[in-house]
Amino acid sequence: MSRIVVNFMHGRGLIFNAEDYLKLRFEYRIVGNLIGVPVSHPRNVNQQGMPVVLSAYEVKLLLDKEIITLVDKTGVLQQVPSEEQSQQYGAMVEQQKQEMHMPVVEKRLEAFRKHMPRIIEGKRRKLLKSGVKEEDIHLDPEQLLDQEKERIMQEKFDQMVQIPINHPLPLEFFERPIALSAQEDVKYRVFESLWQQGGFITTGDAFGCDFLLYPGDPMCFHASHTVHVLAGGVSQKLDAKYLIRICRLSVVVNKLCVIAYVDVSSDEVHFETLEWEGNVTNKGDTF
């Protein structure tokens, strides 16, 4: 199986190929984050499009599973293109213009064919008025069609030049690994454990947690759990305010609160689910 190429740029993993992204999403449950604009609605700020940026944990997981190849093209992309590359790109742009031009030409010619009898009659009358004898008038429909096509081809049309997301020319690159800090490595262990158990995982910055856990694709499901990672493991001191804060937060967003940590003695990832019940002893009080 050929690996998917992920570009390492500005400290992040980027995917520019839509088919590669769909494969990662539907086959490997990697969500990523769309950061571009949709081609069909470039001015719509409420929708995102290609490219896709992957988190460091997603990149690390895919590298460990030998699903992707992380490449660095930064140096090559910063170089001035050669004369040959400029000519190749110019030829590609001209081909795109021709491909956009031909449907317009065909549409105009189709209308010309539809009205061919009226066009021939109009030209015949014009020739008669100019003094040409009836027997000297010879109007060939195919010749008229060729003349019309030549005229249309010389006209200028408004055209949109496509700016490719993925680099259109082959480039040299080198593979590179991804390095995580000690704290990020703990979070990666948690991310990997959650991924192995199924479901979809995304970053939880918008909900004040480390990860969000989904029972299915985030396009169809809301997150069911907020996951908070204890970088210090079981030895990390937890105060009551922190526990109250994360529990109340999960209640507000209607999700279950999960604390995750790595047990140093067994080197295994453990999960603890917390549920906020409020002040149980005062439930019967009336005010």
Active site annotation includes 255: yes
222 belongs to the catalytic site = yes
β-pairing, 68-72 vs 225-229, is: unpaired
Q: Give me the residue label for tokens 């001035």.
A: 80
Catalytic residue among 60, 225, 228, 255: 255
The separation between CA 209 and the C-alpha centre of its own chain, rounded to angstroms, equals 24
The residues facing 9 across adjacent strands are: 12
Catalytic residue of the set 41, 65, 123, 222 = 222
Catalytic pick from 214, 225, 228, 261? Answer: 214
Across the strands, what pairs with 243? none
- The DSSP call for residue 90 is H
**Residue 99, CA distances (Å) to 102, 103, 159 in order:** 6, 7, 11
Could you give the CA distance from residue 270 to residue 52 in angstroms, rounded to a whole number? 31
Residue 79 C-alpha from the chain's centroid: 26
Percent helix, percent strand, percent coil in the chain, to nearest 5: 45, 20, 35
For residue 67, the tally of other CB atoms under 10 A from its CB is 17
Known catalytic residue at 115 = no
- Dist. CA 130–CA 70, nearest whole Å: 74
Give the span between the Cα atoms of 237 and 251, in whole angstroms.
23
**Residues designated catalytic:** 214, 222, 255
